[in-house]
Structures are given as C-alpha cells and as structure tokens.
Amino acid sequence: MPSTRLSVVVTRRLPEPVEKRMSELFDLKLPERDEQMTRADLIKAVKEADVLVPTLCDKIDAGVIAQASDRLKLIANYGAGVDHIDVHTARQHGILVSNTPGVSADDTADMALALILSVTRRLPEGFARMQAGEWQGWSPNALLGGRVSGRRLGILGMGRIGQAVARRAAAFGMQIHYHNRRRLRPEIEQELGATYWESLDQMVARMDVISVNCPHTPSTFHLMNARRLKLMKPDAVIVNTSRGEVIDENALTRMLRAGEIAGAGLDVYERGAEINPRLRELKNVVLLPHMGSATLEGRIEMGEKVLVNIKTFDDGHRPPDQVVPAML
C-alpha cells in the first residue's frame, strides 16, 4: 500500500509554482484567502498538521506550541528569520524548526541601496511633485539632494546581506565601514575595502549613512536607541531593511522631526504594520511596506528551500536548514 503523505499546512498563499509542487508531494492545506492567520487559526493548524509552514507574520510562541498535537514534527519556516518562532520550546516538544537562509541577500541589498539613493536624492518628493502635476520645469535649486559618492557608509551587521550591501555601495563610490559581532577575515575585509569598528558608538558618530542589516535578537533590540541615535551627525541618514525592533522608532521619529537626523529609509517597523503615524508626515523619510525580499525569483527560491527541508525530513533525514537554539 502507498505510504501516507505528510499533512502540510501553509499559513499564507505562496507563489503558484511553489504551491503546485507542494500539492504534488504532500497533503497540502492552503488558506482560502491570503490573510494573516488569527491565533485561533494557528492553534487549529498545529493540531492538524505534520508540518507547519509559517511566515514571519505568524507568532509561533510557547502558547501555540503547547497546543500542538503529537503529530506535528516540523515547523518549516518560509523565510530566514525565526524570531517569531520559539525554537527552544519547539525542541522541548520534539518539533524541529527549519528556515530558508541565504536566498534574499541580494534582493534585500538592492533595496537598501534603493533606500539610500531615495533618501539622499529625494526621489519620493520628486515623484510626488510629478504625480500632482506641480512641476513647472527645471530649476537650479529645486529638490537638491546629496551625492552618495565619497560618503561613509556604516553597516550594522556584516553577514550575507551586509556584505552584499557593501559590494553595491562600493560600486557607487561609497567608503565602507562596519560593526559586527565578529570581525570578518582579513581577506574578506580586503575584498570589500571595509574598515572594522569595534565600537559601534564611535562608528555611528562618524558615518554619513547607517545601514541596519543585523537580525532581531534580545541583544539587538533597540541597538539603535535614543542615546546612540543622538550620536549620529545631523546631516546623516539611516536605512533599515532588517528588523524594525533594532531601532527605537519613537526616538527616531522625534529626532527626524527635530532635524537632528537628516533622513531615514525604512522597510521594516518596530510594531509590524502599526507604523508610527508621525513618520508618515515627514518629507525626509521614505517608507516601504517590507519589500526587501519581494522578488518573484527570491520568493520561489524560498519555497524551493522549504520543499527540500520538508522532503528531506520526510525521507528520515535532518532538514538541511534546520535551526537549533545554539545558532540563535
């Protein structure tokens, strides 16, 4: 008799090629509408599934995991970050966790550069003026921005994404500086032309642009707090394509409004979709709806990694992208 196929519950709609392949391999359950699951929906899912495929919007905490049936053995996260999953509790319940690392580095780095250019060259203001039909022709002093070439870029977090940002910024003539939990190997520093700062405070105080590219962990929560934001030069800008919790959003908003920081480009926010309404009022801020990894190619690659993790697990082996608490 044929073996029973794994029951796989996916919390959000995925690109069509990914869903099609999943349905061929597993007993797949998809939501009817592409909406974030409620907590009750998540609890129902962990009671029914052999494998749960959540996204970064789904909070899989200890309370949800405690409701899981004995059949749930794998949480195959669709995304690299797993700060929304209680990995420790999952392991205590005999549930493995996997993710999709390394897929979105280039896509997110592209967005970081787009934000740097958008803020320094005032692109949204120009776009808004054109959309409103207010442009009256070229003027020597209209919408003057700043040149990125020669500016000092301080990268906070020099993993895959940070290094991809460095390569792109160097092509624009920016000077590359970085702070990281661990210093890069000399040959990588030389390749990137990057200067290491052991002191984050000293780096922040001397940079023209700060790019946040570190994950959200207990040690990075509000790493850019009010005190550290005040170290930035008044003509400096900050961009964040990593996790919103790394920056104290209220403090950043106050300083942007007061002109103590020249500008910001944000793709992520401290409270998810609940954005500080005062940020929307500021002309020196570019706000994006978490688009850093939003390419069709990247999202399909993420799905392929999820498929490999589930199929490898189904075959009785350790998922290649298994996350263990020691890695966090």
At 252 the three-state DSSP class reads helix
Whole-angstrom distance, CA of residue 265 vs CA of residue 117: 9
Is the domain of 248 the same as that of 111?
yes
Tell me the CA distances in angstroms from 272 to 68, 185, 263, 276, 290, one per residue in order: 26, 35, 20, 10, 9
What is the per-residue pLDDT across 139-172, written as a single tens digit (0 to 9) for each?
999 999 999 999 999 999 999 999 999 999 999 9
- Residue in this structure with the two tokens 């919103």, named with its chain if needed: 244
Categorize the per-residue pLDDT at 326 as very low, low, confident or very high, splitting at 50, 70 and 90.
low
Is the domain of 84 the same as that of 154?
no
- Rounded (5°) CA angle 19-95-328: 95
At 209 the three-state DSSP class reads strand
Categorize the per-residue pLDDT at 197 as very low, low, confident or very high, splitting at 50, 70 and 90.
very high
Tell me the CA distances in angstroms from 47 to 26, 42, 243, one per residue in order: 17, 9, 30
At 65 the three-state DSSP class reads helix
What is the per-residue pLDDT across 21-38, written as a single tens digit (0 to 9) for each?
999 999 999 999 999 999
The pair phi, psi for residue 284, each rounded to 5°, is -95, 20
Is the domain of 132 the same as that of 253?
yes
Specify if 1 maps to a domain.
no
Q: Identify the pLDDT of residue 328.
A: 45
Is the domain of 270 the same as that of 301?
no
Burial of residue 159 (CB within 10 Å: 0-12, 13-18, 19+) is buried
User: Which amino acid type is present at position 301?
Assistant: E
Mean predicted lDDT score pLDDT of the chain: 95
Is the domain of 125 the same as that of 177?
yes
Is the domain of 112 the same as that of 202?
yes
Q: Which residues contact 70 (CB under 8 A, 6 or more apart)?
A: none
Whole-angstrom distance, CA of residue 138 vs CA of residue 121: 16
**Pure H helices in 70-104:** 87-92
User: Which amino acid type is present at position 240?
Assistant: N
> Is residue 1 scored above 90 in pLDDT?
no
Name the domain count of the chain.
2
DSSP annotation string for 293-305 = T--HHHHHHHHHH
What is the per-residue pLDDT across 271-297, written as a single tens digit (0 to 9) for each?
988 999 999 999 999 999 999 999 999
Is the domain of 136 the same as that of 163?
yes
Q: Identify the pLDDT of residue 325.
A: 72
Is the domain of 209 the same as that of 309?
no
Helices 160-171 and 105-121: crossing angle, nearest 10°?
Answer: 50
Whole-angstrom distance, CA of residue 289 vs CA of residue 292: 9
What is the per-residue pLDDT across 223-258, written as a single tens digit (0 to 9) for each?
999 999 999 999 999 999 999 999 999 999 999 999
Q: Looking at residue 245, which CATH number applies to its domain?
A: 3.40.50.720
What is the per-residue pLDDT across 50-96, written as a single tens digit (0 to 9) for each?
999 999 999 999 999 999 999 999 999 999 989 899 999 999 999 99
Specify if 316 maps to a domain.
yes
Is the domain of 68 the same as that of 159?
no
Is the domain of 213 the same as that of 308?
no
Is the domain of 110 the same as that of 249?
yes
Cβ atoms 94, 73 nearer than 8 A: yes
Whole-angstrom distance, CA of residue 177 vs CA of residue 192: 10
Q: Identify the pLDDT of residue 324.
A: 85
Residue from 288, 145, 173 nearest 279 by CA: 288
- What pTM was computed for the model? 0.90
Categorize the per-residue pLDDT at 3 as very low, low, confident or very high, splitting at 50, 70 and 90.
low
Bridge partners of 8?
Answer: 28, 51
Is the domain of 99 the same as that of 112?
no
Please give the share of the chain, as a percent, with pLDDT higher than 70. Answer: 98
Q: Identify the pLDDT of residue 216.
A: 85
Q: Identify the pLDDT of residue 181.
A: 94
Whole-angstrom distance, CA of residue 12 vs CA of residue 9: 9
Whole-angstrom distance, CA of residue 94 vs CA of residue 65: 11
> Is residue 131 scored above 50 in pLDDT?
yes
**Domain range spanning residue 68?**
7-103+295-327
